[in-house]
């Protein structure tokens, strides 16, 4: 591909024996491409926010685009040979999460072409803020006993909205699958992590994502389909009385 060859063309060779100098040059080359593109039309084919081997996904509001690298399209997130229900509960949730970012506290500020533009009415903004505040209050009430701290609901509101919305969107897509192929017993939800106390404290204080445990337990406790499927009693921890719902 000539475009890719041109994009990654280096003006000088990188000496494999001089790793630090090579790193600085690659950083310079990356910055040079970024500044050079300021007055150019955006090439969405080449404007990837992450390398293809990375196990991650992203929504880019300035391009109104979702990136799903090849690295995440494998177990445990995706496997074409396993039951579809596992894929909907894993990569389906990831895709739904990134879609919801287009309509969270940040993505909602950009229009369909990625321009910073207020395209919502005053009434929509007020309703959105009301529902978003529900998530802020809800997550801020979550206590993490390992570090004796509460979650930062305000700092994580965008990701929490995306976690809750992504789960619902994946479930809606799964229901369309069920209409054609029948109902499996359960819909899984994939998110697993293990934290040292110091790392967990840093995560709560500075990271826009809630810790993995709360990215699973809080969204499903807001989800009636979950409490119905698992027979969670009314007003229990996994079946909240006041459920936060946005999308």
Distance of alpha carbon 107 from alpha carbon 116, whole angstroms: 9
pLDDT tens for 63-74 read 899 999 999 999
pLDDT tens for 189-221 read 666 778 899 999 999 999 999 999 999 999 999
Would you tell me the crossing angle of helices 122-140 and 157-181 to the nearest 10 degrees?
100
Amino acid 140: pLDDT: 97
Structure tokens at 153: 């609901």
Catalytic entry in 98, 104, 138, 142: 98
Catalytic entry in 138, 159, 163, 169: 163
Known catalytic residue at 98: yes
Strand partners for 59: 66
Amino acid 207: pLDDT: 95
The total of other beta-carbon atoms located within 10 Å of residue 180's CB is 6
Strand, helix or coil for residue 71: helix
Is 49:67 a contact under the CB 8 Å cutoff? yes
Tell me the pTM. 0.82
Strand, helix or coil for residue 50: coil
Task: pLDDT tens for the chain, 247 residues: list them.
Answer: 677 677 666 666 778 888 898 888 888 888 887 888 788 776 666 677 888 899 999 999 988 999 999 999 999 899 999 888 889 999 999 999 999 999 998 999 999 888 899 899 999 999 999 999 999 999 999 999 999 999 999 999 999 999 999 999 999 999 999 999 887 766 556 667 788 999 999 999 999 999 999 999 999 999 999 999 889 998 898 999 999 999 8
pLDDT tens for 95-111 read 999 999 999 989 999 99
Amino acid 193: pLDDT: 79
Amino acid 187: pLDDT: 56
Amino acid 26: pLDDT: 82
* 225: preceding bond cis by omega (within 30 degrees): no
Is 163:219 a contact under the CB 8 Å cutoff? yes
Is 117:142 a contact under the CB 8 Å cutoff? no
């Amino acid at each position: 591909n000539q475009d890719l060859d041109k994009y990654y063309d280096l003006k000088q060779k990188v000496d494999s024996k001089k790793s630090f100098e090579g790193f600085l040059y690659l950083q310079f080359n990356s910055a040079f491409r970024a500044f050079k593109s300021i007055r150019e039309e955006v090439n969405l084919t080449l404007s990837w926010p992450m390398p293809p081997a990375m196990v991650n996904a992203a929504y880019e509001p300035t391009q109104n685009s979702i990136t799903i690298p090849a690295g995440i399209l494998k177990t445990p997130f995706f496997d074409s040979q396993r039951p579809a229900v596992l894929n909907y509960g894993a990569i389906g949730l990831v895709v739904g999460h990134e879609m919801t970012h287009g309509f969270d506290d940040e993505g909602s500020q950009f229009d369909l072409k990625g321009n910073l533009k207020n395209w919502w009415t005053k009434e929509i903004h007020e309703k959105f803020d009301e529902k978003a505040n529900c998530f802020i209050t809800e997550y801020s009430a979550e206590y993490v006993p390992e570090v004796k701290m509460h979650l930062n609901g305000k700092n994580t509101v965008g990701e929490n909205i995306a976690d809750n919305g992504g789960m619902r969107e994946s479930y809606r897509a799964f229901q369309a699958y069920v209409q054609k192929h029948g109902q499996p017993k359960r819909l899984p939800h994939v998110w697993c992590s293990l934290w040292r106390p110091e790392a967990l404290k840093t995560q709560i204080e500075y990271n826009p994502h809630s810790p993995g445990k709360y990215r699973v337990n809080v969204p499903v406790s807001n989800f009636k389909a979950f409490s119905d499927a698992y027979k969670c009693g009314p007003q229990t921890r996994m079946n909240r009385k006041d459920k936060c719902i946005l999308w």
